[in-house]
């Protein structure tokens, strides 16, 4: 089930498209075009609206929906017949775009409020498979694969630092219950005596991961497609409605076909990045074909445990560091 804030922002975005002058008016009307909403959803929205804690979220999201209704490359003031909400449903197929709303079975909308996350996948899926196929698959322990010695040394140092927790001597003997216990114990931070092992582990994982990703990219010979997948560009255009720390986000996301009409990839580089956890930076240089100007797109990937330190399989969480509105292929809604 999505969080209350996520539910509020996604549904208020949809309500803004229904043509009502205000959020209160839309909630009172319960427009039939919001076809996915059950009575309990309307009640939840009304309670959240009365509570006031999400007032800014309601206002921003509703305004984004209104802007999409008015936009020339959006609905062009044509009231939608159906607005479908994905909610907590998982995509049944290989979905490239992170879609939250579907309008009239045609317009696809992703609601992104104060988030710079592009992709959350297993490390093997990102660094070995280059994001080909379904997102988010889990497979094995990446740390044990790319930095086994540093991983084992980290576990030994942690085990000594949390002597009050009964843990097996060997890392590969950790059971799920013990992992959950260790993750809870390490939530406030690493034991001081493990600082050196943590630094060595993070550096080794980042370096080995960057090398492995670089090798996979060289073998595939298609860095342009890697960039498209990272930026969540697929065969159908879609829209991003949300906010960044600086402004509202109202964007149309290009397809690779659209992208090729305007841009050429000059370079795509990956490198280990210093940090408190394993980080891999990525950087693309792109030339605009019409004026020869060059733009840079930058991001990073955190290779981190899911469910806390030692708590679950590692995941690869890709972030966009360049402001969304400056990314070639992310076009402002007009």
Question: What is the per-residue pLDDT across 18-40, written as a single tens digit (0 to 9) for each?
Answer: 999 999 999 999 999 999 999 99
Strand order of the sheet with strand 83-85?
83-85, 101-103, 107-113, 238-243, 248-253, 330-332
Write out 59-96 in H/E/C secondary structure: HHHHHHHHHHHHCCCCCCCCCCCCEEECCCCCCCCCCC
Those residues with Cβ within 8 angstroms of residue 120's Cβ, 6 or more apart along the chain or in another chain: 135, 136, 315, 316, 317, 318
Those residues with Cβ within 8 angstroms of residue 152's Cβ, 6 or more apart along the chain or in another chain: 171
Rounded Cα gap, residues 235 and 255, in angstroms: 6
C-alpha distance from residue 230 to each of 120, 262, 309, 316 (Å): 10, 18, 26, 12
DSSP E strands in 114-223: the ranges are 117-121
Pairing of strands 238-243, 107-113: parallel
Tokens standing for residue 312: 């679950």
0.85 exceeded by pTM: yes
Domain boundaries, the chain: 4-113, 120-332
Cα end-to-end span (Å), the chain: 33
- Helices 195-220 & 223-230, crossing angle to 10 degrees? 120
Q: Would you state the pLDDT for residue 23?
A: 97
Tokens standing for residue 141: 């322990």
Mean pLDDT in consecutive groups of 10 residues from the start of the chain, 334 residues = 90 98 97 96 96 95 98 97 88 72 96 90 95 68 96 94 88 91 93 95 98 97 96 94 89 96 97 94 97 97 94 94 95 93
Residue given tokens 């690869």 in the structure block: 316
Q: Would you state the pLDDT for residue 230?
A: 96
Residues in the chain: 334
């Amino acid at each position: 089930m999505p969080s209350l804030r996520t539910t509020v922002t996604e549904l208020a975005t949809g309500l803004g498209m229904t043509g009502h002058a205000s959020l209160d008016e839309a909630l009172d009307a319960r427009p039939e075009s919001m076809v996915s909403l059950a009575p309990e959803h309307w009640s939840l929205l009304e309670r959240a609206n009365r509570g006031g804690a999400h007032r800014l979220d309601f206002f921003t999201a509703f305004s984004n929906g209104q802007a999409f209704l008015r936009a020339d490359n959006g609905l062009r003031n044509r009231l939608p017949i159906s607005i479908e909400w994905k909610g907590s449903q998982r995509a049944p197929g290989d979905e490239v775009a992170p879609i939250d709303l579907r309008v009239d079975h045609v317009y696809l909308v992703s609601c992104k409020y104060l988030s710079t996350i592009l992709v959350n996948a297993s490390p093997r899926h990102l660094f070995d498979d280059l994001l080909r196929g379904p997102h988010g698959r889990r497979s094995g322990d990446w740390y044990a694969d790319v930095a086994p010695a540093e991983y084992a040394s980290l576990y030994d140092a942690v085990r000594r630092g949390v002597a009050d927790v009964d843990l097996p001597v060997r890392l590969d003997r950790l059971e799920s219950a013990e992992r959950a216990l260790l993750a809870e114990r390490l939530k406030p931070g690493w034991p001081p005596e493990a600082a050196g092992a943590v630094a060595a582990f993070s550096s080794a994982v980042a370096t080995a991961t960057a090398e492995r990703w670089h090798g996979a990219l060289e073998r595939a010979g298609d860095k342009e497609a890697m960039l498209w997948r990272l930026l969540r560009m697929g065969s159908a255009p879609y829209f991003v409605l949300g906010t960044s720390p600086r402004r509202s986000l109202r964007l149309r996301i290009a397809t690779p076909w659209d992208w090729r009409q305007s841009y050429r990839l000059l370079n795509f580089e990956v490198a280990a990045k210093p940090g408190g956890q394993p980080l891999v930076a990525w950087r693309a240089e792109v030339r605009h074909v019409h004026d020869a100007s060059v733009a840079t797109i930058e991001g990073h990937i955190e290779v981190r445990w899911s469910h806390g330190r030692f708590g679950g399989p590692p995941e690869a969480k890709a972030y966009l560091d360049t402001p969304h509105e400056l990314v070639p292929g992310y076009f402002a809604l007009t």
